[in-house]
Amino acid sequence: MGKKEKILILGGTTEAAERAATLARNGHEIVTSLAGRTSEPRPVAGELRIGGFGGAEGLAEYLKCEGFDRLIDATHPFARQISKNADIAAKRAGLPLDTVTRPPWEKRPGDRWIEVDTLAAARDAIPEGARVLLALGSQHIAGFAIRRDVHFLVRMIDPPSSPLPLADYELAIARPGETTEAETALLKAHAISHIVCRNSGGPAYAKIEAARDLNLPVIMVSRP
């Protein structure tokens, strides 16, 4: 068996948790780092640390001071800043960097995707009077505030600390549904006409299958 390494995993994704479990099982010392966006993160194998590092410089210092052997960037594909920081910090600390890249979802027969490049374009692509499932991170909601004609069902993991800046909305405080049936039931119960989401890839795919089954359009923000 190879050398036991001390490894920092930049996480916040299912893939990061899976990688932590595998590496810990193989005897490596694992620390998973989360930004602290959710109040009750799922448990991970090994140690957990929460909060930013203070940029690439702070991350490089942390890697050196804590004696890590390797850095793994398993963050979300739309989390751009932390991935840039990881690249710079690994070089500064002289450590190998592994990047776990989640493939995007592929459009399949029956999918009605309206593909756009930005959240602003997604907002503008919503037809007047639509009822939209907004399946985005909480930090991306404010950009939709000007669509006062649209009813939003906003899915968030944690309740917001203050009212959202949307004219007409309701909240679904939950993680993404794990089955097509659960997502179909949600879409039907709220008479949703459109989904707005980003092409994250990975496990939150049940909503895409539900939209296909219900023949609903998905306004899909492409990978950066």
Whichever of 81 and 179 has its CB closer to ligand NAP, that residue is 81
Measured CA angle at 178 (ends 101, 99), to 5 deg? 10
Whichever of 59 and 153 has its CB closer to ligand NAP, that residue is 59
C-beta separation of 206 from 180 below 8 A: yes
Transcribe 166-195 into DSSP letters: -SSEEEEESPPPSSHHHHHHHHHHTT--EE
CB of 73 to ligand NAP, least distance (A): 9
Transcribe 30-59 into DSSP letters: EEEEE---SSSPPP-SSEEEES--SHHHHH
Whichever of 68 and 193 has its CB closer to ligand NAP, that residue is 68
CB of 36 to ligand NAP, least distance (A): 7
- CA 27, CA 90: separation in Å to the nearest integer? 22
Whichever of 53 and 144 has its CB closer to ligand NAP, that residue is 53
C-beta separation of 219 from 122 below 8 A: yes
Alpha carbon distances (Å) from 135 to 50, 114, 176: 24, 15, 8
Whichever of 135 and 187 has its CB closer to ligand NAP, that residue is 135
CB of 94 to ligand NAP, least distance (A): 19
Q: List contacts with ligand NAP (CB under 6 A).
A: 10-13, 33-35, 37, 52-55, 58-59, 75-76, 78-82, 85, 137
CB of 38 to ligand NAP, least distance (A): 8
CB of 31 to ligand NAP, least distance (A): 10
Name the residue with the smallest CB distance to ligand NAP: 52
